[in-house]
Amino acid sequence: MKKIIFGIAAICLLQVSCKKDETTPTKIPEPTDQSFSTSFESMGELQKQGWIFQNLSDDPGTGWSIESSTSNGETPYDGSKLLYDSYAATNDPGSATGIISDWLISPKIYFQNGDKISFYTMSHGSIGYGAGGSYGDRLQLRLNIFNTSDSIGETSSDIGNFTTPLIDINPLYKVSPPGDYPSTWTQYVATISGLNQPDSGRFALRYFVILNGGANGDEIGVDKLEFTSANH
Hey, what domains does the chain have and what are their CATH numbers? Answer: 39-228 (2.60.120.200)
pTM of the model as a whole: 0.81
Contact predicate 182/70, CB 8 Å: no
Average pLDDT by stretches of 10, the chain with 232 residues = 44 44 55 90 93 89 79 78 63 60 94 97 61 75 93 95 96 88 93 94 94 75 95 90
Helices and strands of the chain, counted as H and E runs: 3, 12
Contact predicate 82/39, CB 8 Å: yes
Measured at the CA of 163, the angle between CA 145 and CA 28, to 5 degrees, comes to 15
Contact predicate 34/203, CB 8 Å: no
DSSP 162: -
Q: What is the pLDDT of residue 183?
A: 86
Q: What is the pLDDT of residue 217?
A: 80
Residues linked to residue 223 through DSSP beta bridges, in sequence order: 120
Residues linked to residue 82 through DSSP beta bridges, in sequence order: 67
Residues linked to residue 202 through DSSP beta bridges, in sequence order: 144
Q: Is 13 helix (H, G, I), strand (E, B) or coil?
A: helix
Nearest to 85 by CA among 97, 68, 98, 102: 102
Q: What is the dihedral of CA 140, 47, 156, 127, to 10 degrees?
A: 50
Q: What is the pLDDT of residue 177?
A: 84
Cα 112 to Cα 196: distance, rounded to the nearest angstrom? 9
Q: Which residues contact 13 (CB under 8 A, 6 or more apart)?
A: none
